[in-house]
């Protein structure tokens, strides 16, 4: 059944107002204020930029200013989430089990931490500062769909996107310190999820799962939102295309078919209250891009000498 959510990105960075603990508190307060402002769009999910908690602190001092999750930053973001009945991404240098991580936490409408992602591919500078790489890119259940995260330098490593795909991410939030340009579009169309970027520069985007930008922020305004249908899947064309006429004949305007011919894929969404895209896929024997890709890779590896 149609399941829409409103995604919001912000082009924002906390201002320098103080020193030490006072600046940490300022960063958190400013983040909560930005969520309040962004959520005026009626947002279900607000994506915030990378390491918002420790902005204006030298990275070599990461250990000194690291914090737990849950902790002060997720608490501040959580208060804003409760006020606005939205989800948001809280980012910080986390200390956990004696290790440092560049972390992004999904915070829910009640202000509780749903799950935490540890940046899988830290930069060389982060590694030198003691940041430990994460081991996976999970997808966490929100009330509108499954949300995953990747952070900044991760964008240069498609295996991170592959793990998000395999873990069932439908929306991926990407807190960052650069804009990534066409890399975002590649990830979205290659792995078949919506992608929301957020960094402290002027241009951020929400990318459709076909790789097409839906909305962008600009130099004049830091907030952009888009409505997306989470009851939608990406499929390889292959034999699936043989069912297009039959699907349209039976469901008509109850489905939205979008064919991205150059990539050999298509997306199909249910716009109906009583029928899900999972129902339609089962009825017509459609194989999702996620399953097709995994099965193909398994067969390739099995046929590779020495594997």
**Is 251 part of any domain?**
yes
Q: What is the mean pLDDT of the chain?
A: 96
Domain count for the chain, please give it.
2
**Residues 161 and 31 both lie in one domain:** yes
**Residues 82 and 16 both lie in one domain:** yes
**Residues 39 and 128 both lie in one domain:** yes
**Residues 292 and 204 both lie in one domain:** no
**Residues 24 and 54 both lie in one domain:** yes
List the CATH number of the domain containing 45: 3.60.110.10
Which residue from 128, 114, 126, 133 is spatially nearest to 173, judged by alpha carbons? Answer: 114
Considering 206, 229, 252, which residue would you say is the last residue of a domain? 229
**Is 154 part of any domain?**
yes
**Residues 192 and 251 both lie in one domain:** no
Q: Distance from CA of residue 243 to its chain's centroid?
A: 31
Q: Does position 188 have pLDDT exceeding 70, yes or no? A: yes
Q: In DSSP terms, which residues pair with 225 in a beta bridge? A: 8
Compute the average pLDDT of residues 195-223. 94
Query: What are the strands, taking DSSP E only, across the chain?
Result: 4-10, 45-47, 87-96, 99-107, 113-118, 139-141, 146-149, 171-175, 194-198, 205-207, 213-216, 223-229, 232-236, 255-260, 265-270
**Residues 178 and 256 both lie in one domain:** no
Q: Does position 219 have pLDDT exceeding 90, yes or no? A: no
Q: Does position 251 have pLDDT exceeding 90, yes or no? A: yes
**Is 270 part of any domain?**
yes
Which residue from 124, 84, 294, 99 is spatially nearest to 192, judged by alpha carbons? Answer: 294
**Is 151 part of any domain?**
yes
**Is 307 part of any domain?**
no
Q: Read off the pLDDT band of 59 (50, 70, 90).
A: confident
**Is 287 part of any domain?**
yes
* Contact of 76 with 26, CB cutoff 8 Å: no
User: What are 243's two structure tokens?
Assistant: 């069912």
**Residues 197 and 96 both lie in one domain:** yes
Please give the residue range of the domain that contains residue 250. 232-302
Residue range 136-163, pLDDT digits in tens: 999 999 999 999 999 999 999 999 999 9
pTM for the full predicted model: 0.96
Considering 204, 229, 254, which residue would you say is the last residue of a domain? 229
> How many C-beta neighbours within 10 Å does residue 17 have?
13
Q: Does position 261 have pLDDT exceeding 70, yes or no? A: yes
Considering 198, 229, 260, which residue would you say is the last residue of a domain? 229
**Is 171 part of any domain?**
yes
- Top-confidence residue, 58 or 243: 243
User: How, if at all, do strands 45-47 and 87-96 pair?
Assistant: parallel
* Contact of 285 with 243, CB cutoff 8 Å: yes
Q: Does position 307 have pLDDT exceeding 80, yes or no? A: no
Compute the average pLDDT of residues 34-62. 95
**Residues 185 and 85 both lie in one domain:** yes
Cis upstream peptide for 2 (omega within 30°):
no
**Is 82 part of any domain?**
yes
Which residue from 106, 105, 137, 104 is spatially nearest to 120, judged by alpha carbons? Answer: 137
Instruction: Report the percentage of the chain scoring pLDDT > 70.
Output: 100
**Residues 284 and 187 both lie in one domain:** no
Compute the average pLDDT of residues 270-290. 97
**Residues 192 and 289 both lie in one domain:** no
**Residues 133 and 198 both lie in one domain:** yes
Burial of 22 by CB count in 10 Å (0-12 exposed, 13-18 middle, 19+ buried)?
Answer: exposed
């Amino acid at each position: 059944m149609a399941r829409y959510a409103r995604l919001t990105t912000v082009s924002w960075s906390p201002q320098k107002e103080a020193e030490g603990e006072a600046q940490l508190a300022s960063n958190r307060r400013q983040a909560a204020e930005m969520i309040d402002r962004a959520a005026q769009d009626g947002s279900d999910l607000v994506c915030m930029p990378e390491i918002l908690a420790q902005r204006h602190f030298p990275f070599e001092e990461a250990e000194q200013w690291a914090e737990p999750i849950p902790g002060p930053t997720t608490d501040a973001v959580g208060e804003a989430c409760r006020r606005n009945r939205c989800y948001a991404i809280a980012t910080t240098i986390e200390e956990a089990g004696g290790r440092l991580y560049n972390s992004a936490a999904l915070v829910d409408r009640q202000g509780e931490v749903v799950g935490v992602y540890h940046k899988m591919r830290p930069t060389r500078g982060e590694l030198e500062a003691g940041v430990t790489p994460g081991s996976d890119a999970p997808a966490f259940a929100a009330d509108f769909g499954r949300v995953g995260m990747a952070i900044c330098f991760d964008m240069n490593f498609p295996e991170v996107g592959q793990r998000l795909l395999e873990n069932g991410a439908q929306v991926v939030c990407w807190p960052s310190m650069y804009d990534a340009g066409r890399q975002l579009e590649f990830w979205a169309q290659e792995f078949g999820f919506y992608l929301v970027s957020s960094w402290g520069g002027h241009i951020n985007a929400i990318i459709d799962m076909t790789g097409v930008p839906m909305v962008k922020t600009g130099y004049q305004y830091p907030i952009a939102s888009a409505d997306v249908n989470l009851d939608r899947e990406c499929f390889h064309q292959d034999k699936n295309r043989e069912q297009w006429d039959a699907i349209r004949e039976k469901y008509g305007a109850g489905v939205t078919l979008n064919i991205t011919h150059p990539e050999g894929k298509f997306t199909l969404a249910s716009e109906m209250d009583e029928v899900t895209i999972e129902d339609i896929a089962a009825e017509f024997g459609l194989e999702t891009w996620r399953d097709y890709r995994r099965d193909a890779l398994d067969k390739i590896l099995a046929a590779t000498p020495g594997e």
